[in-house]
Structure 1
Amino acid sequence: MDDDGGFHEVEKDGKLFLVYHHPKYRPKPQIKSPSSSAEVANHDHPPLPLFICPFVRWQKDSRYSNLFLINSSPEFVLSSKVPDHHLLPLFWCNNEKFGDGEYECGICFDSKFRTDYYFCAFCSRKYHKECVESPLRIKHPYHPHHSSLELYYRIGYTYCIRCGGDRAYGLIYHCTADQTFMHTTCAMKRIPIVIDQQKIHDHPLTFFPRQNSLTCNICGLIKKHPTYVCLRCNFVAHRGCEEFPHTIRISRHHHRISRVLSLRYEKWPCGVCRQSIDGNYGAYTCNECGDHYYAVHLHCALGKDVWDGEELKGVPEKDDIAQDAPPFCKISEGVVHYFLHDHHLRLEENILYDKNKFCEACVMPIIEDEFYSCAECDFILHETCLKARHRIQYALHPHPLTLKAIYNYDSNYSWCPVCSRNSGGFVYECPKQECQFKLDMRCALISEPFDYQGHEHPLFLSLDPYVYVLCKVCKWTQNYSLNCIKCDFTVCMKCATLPYKVRYNNDKHFLTLSWGEERREKYWCEECEDIVEKFFYWCNDCCTILHTDCLFSKNPYLKPGQVFKIREKEFQILAKSNTSRPICHFCKKPCQGKTLVRDNLTVCSMLCASDFMYSYLHI
């Protein structure tokens, strides 16, 4: 068992710091006597040991758990043996050209590197110096209440008490007593004893190691966090709050916002979480909105799905989405040219319902809305979809998204993570390759506040899309959702994007979506003839009732006639048959709606097609 590392006071360039040292790996800095030479002083330290790859430590201690303790020392021992992995000393590097974001650490997955790091020749991974040398325990000034922080491996994001980052996972320090976590890189950073930040306070602030529950004058939060104080002014600041960026752009607002130390109003709703902001503390505000005052909590504005991580103070305004050209240009009255189609489109009005007409963008049927059609091909767009902007800023993604036609993708379809559906329509895509975020047209057109039919209050997008909640409509647990801030109503995006009214076969009336009503009578679905409960479409005049899945099928946003690639094999979508219900080759159930066909193979959904091809290829 290796000894605990600790912190000691060191002076550098006239400033005092608490600097981490370890008896073996990072010896305590020696104070040279006037008579000693540099060579002699360097020989005062024992030679550093050889280290093993952190991946080997993980292999030794890995457990079937989301959080497990690391017991293996970082030192390389010749007698050690690990199956299928030869223990190799790591190569020490000092590469000044090695930039942030180019690679990520192979054990903590952070992409921020200094010029010094380790490289394992066997597994071809790069590692932070701190991750390689991380002792099993560490005594830290930011965590004085309990015993040492211990080294763990965690699957899933958590919050680092040092930097405030919420993307801490992998190799990490943890205290089981108070459930705190700290990055390995943060745990070994030097700590300034005094900081001088004139932009937040007139006097120097001194490190206060006794983390009582003090309210931070910057963020307004009460939490046991590394704290700096000014005794003259009774001013308190969490470590990290003084480093908040000054000017940023967030996904929830169309202008830049800037940090202020207090608000002009005592209370004001946050533009992200919708909860009240205490005007006596710091926040971000918009200087462009004038009388339409806009403010956001500091921590809400800096969330990973809200802010792109860029400080914009002093950066000229450029690439403003609001200044983009419209997605179409007017040729003549009722005739336009759309940027994703080669031919002109003409406005159509008062056309009778045709179940074979689908919008290319949202893949929903054309029922009564005005739409634009092409005289030279079967390209059709709802007027709303035609006007959807070329680029948008989606509230739950930090980067602008660009509209693309689905035929730009090899598979001819995409999966939307927001509504958890496959789509053969247009998608909004993040141009940053590392994001790989795509959003279908229906989800992209939902804006805040959202008016959901059947609920009396406006709805807002969930603050954290990774938290699963129970949808009050379909009764399924989903992550992306719309929430009511006045009551506990929640609707998932899959339900929120369903149309409120639809047409069915030759019924002259609209069917409307019904949910949440307790009914004494039993109703049966027109298609599958099973009992219908709380979530369905119905016509009160004709007593026509259908399950949502029976009406739209399991593939509601795939257009009949389209050809898709599933596991490199082509399938074609066929419209629902009114005369027969073929049996799905995979699940062996009757196909209720649209079907996917390939040669003599018929399946009822994309999932069945994928599973069938997987089982077929692995026979």
Structure 2
Amino acid sequence: MHTICAMKSVLFVVDQPKSHDHPLTFFPRQASLTCDVCGLLRSNYPTYVCLRCNFVSHNDCMYSPRIIKISRHYHRISYTTSLRSREWSCGVCRKSIDRDYGAYICEKCDDYVVHVRCALRVDVWDGVELEGVPEEDDITQDVGPYEVISKGVILHFLHSHHLRLEVSITYDENRLCHACVMPIVEGNLFSCLECEFILHEICAKSRRRIQHLLHPHPLKLVHVSECDYNFFCDACFRVCGGLIYLCPILECDFGVDVRCAAISEPFHFQGHEHPLFLALDPKVKPICEVCKLECRKQFNCIECDFIVCIKCATLPYEARYKLDKHLLTLLWGKEVCEEDWCEACERNLKDTSTKLFYWCKDCCTTLHISCLFDDDLYVKPGQVLKVEGKEDVKVLAKGNLSRPLCDSCKYPCQGRTFTTDNSTMCSMKCARGKI
């Protein structure tokens, strides 16, 4: 034995493991044995064997919980020693599952199965054993986000005034939804009877509590003003100034904006023919096929090698531009048009680092995303952003008559401006570099 191994306390016999009916004995040459619980060969984990039957288990696998709740599925899942004969794929990593080894199954769904090690990942399982605990589906039975006062009039739980249902027939780039902080386009919305508070109809229906794919604990809908810091979404990593979902457990420090809160599997990205999944290990940081930058959180295709980061995946596929009567669509990885300049900033697209654009196929109108929506899509005019150790930055609405020069990049500000007492910037990126 290695000296360090000899100093460790090792149980040579485990009398009543959870995963097996007989006592298990420590087996020192574990490198050649596949665990019957997780189906893996992990040479760095102490391995135990049953001397009465052909059973092998890692020391951590023998204590695997029997019933758990994970972030990737609506129902509880329970451990089983084997699966019936058919092709199975894991509901987390989407890889095949060997039916001769242990796995977690959903007893309410016929086709949902998860690898043991995938189910017990810290970003998937909350660490709570639910065997013997009554099942209460409090997420789906949660109280609705608003009270109906009368026909077409509601009271949202995060606003003190009544909201009236309206139909928008005109586009105003400065009229923003207070939940997702995106412009109001044609369609239904709820408008406050006493102030300028507005919600898209679909945003008004955002539930008070949700279970998100990226986090094991339920998340609570709150206003960003409840945070005493700049809120960065843990899915797209953008600053947000609207409504957000936060984990009530302070130690988690996890939250997402309302747009990222709506993502689900399979995810249908309009720029790709196959459905996408959150199937890659969180430690993997691949390159996004759309923006060509390293992903922090991403969807990937099971049928091909396509990968898109959540930041790109949650961009609106269609958008309005005030000087074009048609809808603009998101374009990436292709030639835009013969005219290769941005309609707003009048810069050549080849001179900019971005690979993403909005364009009108009828008029060949082309715009940078930052010129149409700003670099910081989800910040709100009037919002004050904090820069650690420096001046606070105030966000001003997009001006139609003037384009002040950014003190950092020296280009005219196309959208919202970020100001301090002494400086004007076109984005938080410029603000962090200037102040």
How high is the TM-score relative to the length of structure 1? 0.66
| Cross-structure match for 1:601 | 423
Report 1 or 2 for greater relative contact order, CA contacts < 8 Å, sequence distance ≥ 6. 2
Retained in 2: the 8 A contact 1:372–1:383? yes
Determine if contact 1:396/1:465 at 8 Å carries over to the other structure.
Answer: no
Partner of 2:366: 545
1:498 aligns with 2:315: yes
Q: Deviations over 1:558-591 (max 9, x none)?
A: 1234344445744432233344332222343432
Query: SS in structure 2 opposite 1:529?
Result: coil
Query: Aligned to 1:408, which of 226, 229, 235?
Result: 226
Q: Which residue does 2:35 correspond to in 1? A: 216
* Paired amino acid for 1:385: C
- Of 259, 264, 274, the match for 2:79: 259
- Residue 515 of structure 1 corresponds to 332
Post-superposition Cα deviations, 1:158-185, rounded to whole Å, max 9, x if no partner, equal xxxxxxxxxxxxxxxxxxxxxxxxxxxx
1-structure distance, mates of 2:407, 2:138? 51
Q: Which of 295, 300, 307 is equivalent to 2:118?
A: 300
SS of alignment partner, residue 355 of structure 1: strand
* 2:305 pairs with one of 485, 488, 491: 488
Q: Name the counterpart of 2:257.
A: 440
What's the counterpart of residue 25 of structure 1? none
Structure 2: gaps (5+ residues): none
Q: Residue 278 of structure 2 aligns with which residue?
A: 461
Instruction: Tell me how far apart the structure 2 counterparts of residues 347 and 461 of structure 1 sit (CA, whole Å).
Output: 36
- Verify: 1:274 aligned to 2:99, yes or no: no
How far is 1:518 from its partner? 4.3
Q: 1:328 pairs with 140, 146, 156, which one? A: 146
TM-score, normalised by the number of residues in structure 2: 0.92
Indicate the SS of the match to 2:260: helix
Matching residue of 1:535 = 356
> What secondary structure sits across from 2:175 in the alignment?
coil
1:420 to 221, 233, 237: 237
- What secondary structure does 1:236 align onto? strand
Say if 1:227 and 1:564 are closer, same or farther in 2 by CA, change over 3 A: closer
Judge conservation of contact 1:266–1:280 (CA < 8 Å) in 2.
no
For residues 389 and 138 of structure 1, what CA distance do their matches in structure 2 show?
56
2:132 aligns with one of 314, 322, 340: 314
Question: Which AA in structure 1 matches 2:40?
Answer: L
Residue type of the alignment partner of 1:428? Y
Instruction: Give runs of aligned pairs for residues 372-391 of structure 1, distance below 5 A.
Output: 372-391=190-209
| Residue matched to 1:38 | none
Higher strand share: 1
**Residue 249 of structure 1 corresponds to which residue in structure 2?**
69
Could you tell me which runs of 5 or more consecutive residues in structure 1 were left unpaired when the two chains were aligned: 1-5, 7-136, 142-186, 614-619
How far does residue 325 in structure 1 lie from its aligned partner after superposition? 0.9
Verify the 8 A CA contact 1:462 1:480 in the aligned structure 2.
no
> Does residue 286 in structure 1 map to residue 151 in structure 2?
no
1:463 Cα deviation after fit: 3.8
| Map of 1:197 onto structure 2 | 16
Q: Is the 8 Å Cα contact of residues 283 and 296 (structure 1) preserved in structure 2? A: yes
Report what 2:379 is aligned to. 558
CA offset digits 1:254-286 (Å, max 9, x no partner): 222111111234432211111122222111112
Distance 1:593 1:138, change over 3 A: farther
Alignment pair present for 1:591 and 2:413: yes
Q: Is contact 1:573-1:595 (8 Å) kept?
A: yes
Tell me the secondary structure at the aligned position of residue 140 of structure 2. Answer: helix
Identity %: 58
| AA partner of residue 117 (structure 2) | H
Contact 1:522 1:531 in 2 (8 A): no
Q: Distance in 2 between matches of 1:198 and 1:402?
A: 37
Amino acid at match of 2:200: H
Q: Summarize the Cα distance change of 1:570–1:198 in structure 2 as closer, same or farther, 3 Å threshold.
A: closer
- Match for 2:132: what amino acid? G
- Bigger mean CA deviation after superposition, 561-570 or 261-270: 561-570
State yes or no: 1:572 paired with 2:391.
no
Q: Aligned runs of 1:4-83 on 2, under 5 Å? A: none
CA contact (8 A) 2:171 2:322 kept: no
Distance (Å, rounded) in 2 between the aligned partners of 1:466 and 1:591: 37
SS, match of residue 331 in structure 1 = strand
**C-alpha deviation, 1:341, in angstroms:** 0.8
Deviation at 1:377, TM superposition (A): 0.9
1:478 correspondence with 2:275 = no
Tell me the equivalent position of 1:32: none
Between the two proteins, the alignment pairs up a number of residues equal to 429
Which amino acid is 2:357 matched to?
F
Q: Give per-residue Cα distances to partners, 1:210-230, cap 9 Å, x unaligned.
A: 123222111111232422123
Q: Work out whether residues 197 and 242 of structure 1, in 8 Å CA contact, stay in contact via their aligned partners in 2.
A: no
What CA distance in whole angstroms lies between the structure 2 residues aligned with 1:388 and 1:477? Answer: 30
- 1:522–1:532 Cα contact (<8 Å) kept: no
- Distance across 1 between alignment mates of 2:434 and 2:341: 31
C-alpha distance in 2 between matches for 1:322 and 1:520? 47
Matches within 5 A, 1:148-159: none
**Deviation sequence 1:59-89 (CA, Å, 0-9, x none):** xxxxxxxxxxxxxxxxxxxxxxxxxxxxxxx
> Cα deviations across residues 519-575 of structure 1 (Å, max 9, x unaligned)?
684611112323326521101222210111222222221123434444574443223
SS at match of 2:65: coil
Return the alpha-carbon distance in structure 2 between the equivalents of residues 587 and 521 of structure 1: 27
| Superposed displacement of residue 320, structure 1 | 2.2
What CA distance in whole angstroms lies between the structure 1 residues aligned with 2:337 and 2:416? 32
Q: Does 1:367 align with 2:185?
A: yes
CA contact (8 A) 1:193 1:207 kept: yes
CA distances 1:440-483 after superposition (whole Å, capped 9, x unpaired): 11111111111111211111124433421100011111210111
CA distance in 1, matches of 2:243, 2:330: 25
The separation in 2 between residues aligned to 1:604 and 1:350, in whole angstroms, is: 29
CA-to-aligned-CA distance 1:316-364 (integer Å, 9 cap, x gap): 3347212211111222222221111111211112522222211101000
* Alignment partners' CA distance in 1, 2:30 and 2:386: 58
Please give the per-residue CA displacement for 1:14-62, whole angstroms capped at 9, x wherever unaligned.
xxxxxxxxxxxxxxxxxxxxxxxxxxxxxxxxxxxxxxxxxxxxxxxxx
SS of residue in 1 equivalent to 2:430: helix
The answer to whether the Cα contact below 8 Å between 2:92 and 2:279 also exists between their aligned partners in 1 is no
Query: Given residue 572 of structure 1, which amino acid in structure 2 is its aligned partner?
Result: K
Q: What is the distance in 2 between the residues matched to 1:464 and 1:327?
A: 34
